[in-house]
Chain A
Amino acid sequence: MRVGFVGLGAMGRPMALHLLRAGHSLALWARRPEAAAPLIAAGAVQCASAADVARRSEVVFTIVTGSADVEHVALDAGGLGEGFAAGSILVDMSTIAPETARSLARRLSRQGVEMLDAPVSGGEQGAIAATLAIMVGGKAAVLERVLPLLECLGKTIVHVGDNGAGQVAKACNQMVMVGAIQAVAEALHFAAAAGADPASVRRALAGGSACSRVLEVMGGRMVDRDFSAGVEARLHHKDYGVVLAEAYRLGVPVPVAAAVGQQLNALMARGWGHSDTASLLRVLESVASAACER
């Protein structure tokens, strides 16, 4: 299939490579051309604009940072919208506001272009191993057409519902996951303060009902005090902006997410946005030691 790809960051690069290796022809555009170099070497075609990518492709994938970036790539001059032929498909795998995904789908449908929101969970490791969880919003028939492509990228592919439903699922994913990171950080911080070895506490918990992927991975990082990203905390902070704005729009109370959002704000203020979200532990420690710093 003729496939296009925009957004060659930590996630996008390995994903694009999987599509290429599966035998699809791949057209690329990147804001920074050097990001595309390894893929060009592997046989992808570099385009001069996002519009060019759309012209050459039946299906275009985007995985960029936020709502504004997706709108920029899709709708601006030289954007995908200019190059799409009727019948082509945009699969946006970025994490953005459900409302933005819906309005973008509506606007593209006016020119006969189909859109799926298909955000992912699993991080850079999942992208490299092609084991991502993919949460899809949009028409079932459209998903059916791109399913062979998504199967190159992920293991768990769930059609959640109409346009926007994939982003709703991703927002829920972030609430559960980052909430769990905060809970693990509090537990390990509590353990240390109470005079128990956090590493042993984590090992003990891993065998019982508190066992979780977050306890294993992020808990491990906390114990090792390895705060190099995994997933950069600034991205979770951005996602919490989406969650809390949506809760506001709907009039839905999310008391724990709101509290976790404040810890993420504090994390950003400490300058840890580019480190792993396991740094929520360091936020707790900095509160405990605030009296000493004065």
Chain B
Amino acid sequence: MKIGFIGLGIMGRPMALNLLQGGHQVSVWARRPESMQPLLDAGAAGAASPAALAEAADIVISMVADAPDVEQVMLGEQGVANSPRAGLVAVDMSTIRPAAARDIAARLHARGIDFLDAPVSGGEVGAIAGTLSIMVGGSAAAFDSARPALACMGKNIVHVGDSGAGQVAKAANQIVTGVGVLTVAEALNFAARSGVDPARVREALLGGFAYSKILENHGQRMLDRNFKPGFKSWMHQKDMNIVMQSAHELGLCLPVSAATAQMYNAMVGSGLGEEDSIAILKLLERLSGGES
């Protein structure tokens, strides 16, 4: 399959590499030309613009920061919608607002391009291993055509529903993980400040109903005080903002997400934005007069 790939950051680079390894013909474009080099070295072709990618591809995939970036590469001056090959499917794997995804889908559809929102969960580790969870919104036909490409990047690939449904699933994912990281940090800080070894508490909890992947993985990194990202706090702040904006638009009451979003605001405002989201532990310690 001929695949165009846009956005070669922490996530995009290994994802594009996995497409190459899956035997697909991959062309790439990135805003910073130097980030294209590792892919060119691995056998990908370089393109001058997203428009140039779309002329030759069956599928164009974008993995960029936020909705304005997706709009730019899809619908901007040198964007995918400029001169697409007939039957082109555009797949955006970034995390953006569901309403923005629906809007972009409608505008691309008006120009004869099928669009899937297909955000991922699993982080850099999952991107490298090709084991991402992929949550897809869009038509079943487009999902079927994109599936062989998606299968090179992820394991758990779910067609959630129509356009925007993938982003809704991702927002729900971020509610559970964003709040989850905070509760694990609160529990371990509670244990430590109560004079009990948090490592033993984690171990005890892992066997019961409080078990979660976050308690296991993030909890361990909190104990190790390993704050290297991982998933940077500013990205979780951005994702919680997507959740809260959607709640505002829909008239939804999300009290726990709202409180969590404020903690992520405080992290970014206090200079912890570039650290892993588990650095929320440091914030709790500051608020409780403890370590750091």
Interface residues of A (CB under 8 A from B): 237, 240-241, 244-245, 247-248, 250-255, 258-259, 261-263, 265-269
Contacts and interface: CB of A to CB of B under 8 A. Distances in A.
Given A241-B248, A261-B248, A262-B254, A255 B273 contact: no
B268 interface: yes
Interface of A is mostly: helix
Contacts of A255: 259, 262
Given A265-B247, A269-B250, 14 more contacts: A240-B248, A245-B245, A250-B269, A251-B265, A252-B269, A254-B262, A258-B258, A259-B258, A259-B259, A262-B253, A262-B255, A265-B252, A266-B251, A268-B251
Interface in B35-74: none
B200 to A, nearest CB: 31
13 contacts: A241-B245, A247-B262, A248-B261, A251-B267, A252-B265, A252-B269, A253-B263, A255-B262, A258-B262, A262-B255, A265-B247, A266-B251, A266-B253
A248 B252 contact: no
Interface size class on chain B is: 20 to 34
Contacts of A263: 253
A240 B248 CA distance: 9
Contacts of B267: 251
Contacts of A258: 244, 258-259, 261-262
A237 B249 CA distance: 10
Interface of B: 237, 241, 244-245, 247-248, 250-255, 258-259, 261-263, 265-270, 273
Given A241-B248, A269-B252, A253 B266 contact: yes
Contacts of B253: 262-263, 265-266, 269
Nearest to B244: A244
Nearest to B255: A262
Given A262-B247, A265-B252, A269-B251, A251 B258 contact: no
Contacts of A268: 251
A245 B242 CA distance: 10
Interface of B: prevailing SS: helix
B100 to A, nearest CB: 15
A280 to B, nearest CB: 12
B94 to A, nearest CB: 18
A262 B268 contact: no
Given A253-B262, A253-B269, A254-B262, A248 B251 contact: no
B258 A248 contact: no
Contact of A265 (B251, B259, B268): B251
Given A248-B265, A250-B269, A253-B266, A259 B255 contact: yes
Contacts of B244: 244, 248, 258, 261
Nearest to A258: B258
A265 B248 contact: yes
Contacts of A254: 262, 265
Contacts of A265: 247-248, 250-254
Given A258-B261, A259-B258, A248 B248 contact: no
Nearest to A268: B251
B268 A251 contact: yes
B282 to A, nearest CB: 14
Contacts of A262: 247, 253-255, 258
Contacts of A244: 244, 248
Which among B237, B254, B258, B259 has the highest number of chain A CB atoms within 10 Å?
Answer: B258
A251 B251 CA distance: 24
Contacts of B259: 255, 258-259
Contacts of B251: 265-269
A262 B253 CA distance: 5
Contacts of A252: 265-266, 269
Contacts of A248: 237, 241, 244, 261, 265
